[in-house]
Amino acid sequence: MPRSAYELYYWPDIQGRGEFVRLALEDAGAAYADVARLPAAKGGGVDALMRFLQGRPHGLRPFAPPFLKSGRLVIAQTANILLYLGPRVGLAGRDDASRFGAHQLQLTVTDLVAEVHDTHHPIASALYYEAQKGEAKARAGSFVGERLPKFLGYFEQVLRDNGGRHMIGRRASYVDLSMFQLLAGLDYAFPKAMRRLAAKTRLLRALKERVEARERIAAYLASARRIAFNEDGIFRHYPELDL
């Protein structure tokens, strides 16, 4: 495997939680390897990822992907990875208010992502969606009706409080990139619900357009490196859940 500054370990066939990290690395133009997507002959593949989860690692063992190797450090938990990467790749401020503020917003993104996952898996992650379809419909109803408007209303308000251009600070941060990814995923999974919410999320919609027009993000989204949304990921389009 070629040596890169960063090695990202995440499932190779979905955007999932790893995509929030990929976007930050891509926007920064960082040299990174997406290890599980490399051929096994080059030290990649899912086996390389599983070795970290099952074996005694160099440092602290991760509970689950994604995790990032940077020098001797192995850092797990999506928001924790971005907390680490942000100031190193120019996507976060370094003062306390910026660092803890950006991380607070990212953790709220994490919470919403977990609730999105549970719309299609309300009973058990280990069971297929088809085995929990009825419960999924009930959970998706409360998600689309209450939780989604509450979360997006909060993010819209935070963006308004901050002047409308960026989620935090006066420059683009990893939180802006994550907000793009969140809206892209929600648009894919819940297109009808998101159209209903469009008038109440005008600032977020405009932020999403600005992010996808960023040069490196646009190039990434047009490349084969960007995995398409699909029904193995977190954001799944099941029309019966788009209530």
Tell me which amino acid residue 199 is: A
Query: Considering CB under 8 A, how many residues would be counted as binding a second copy?
Result: 46
Contact 124, 115 (CB under 8 A): no
d(CA 118, CA 50) in angstroms, rounded, equals 24
Q: Which stretch binds a second copy (CB under 8 A): 33-41, 74-82, 189-197, 202-210?
A: 74-82
Helix (H) or strand (E) holding 58: none
Nearer to a second copy, 4 or 108 (CB): 108
Helix (H) or strand (E) holding 212: helix 202-212
Nearer to a second copy, 125 or 223 (CB): 125
CA dist 122 → 16, 117, 158 (Å)? 17, 8, 29
Binding residue (CB under 8 A) for a second copy from 124, 198, 218, 219? 124
Assess 142 for contact with a second copy (CB under 8 A): yes
Residues that bind a second copy (CB under 8 A): 56, 59-63, 72-73, 75-77, 79-80, 83-84, 96-97, 100-101, 103-105, 107-108, 111, 114, 118, 122-127, 135, 138-139, 141-142, 146-147, 151, 154, 157-158, 161, 168
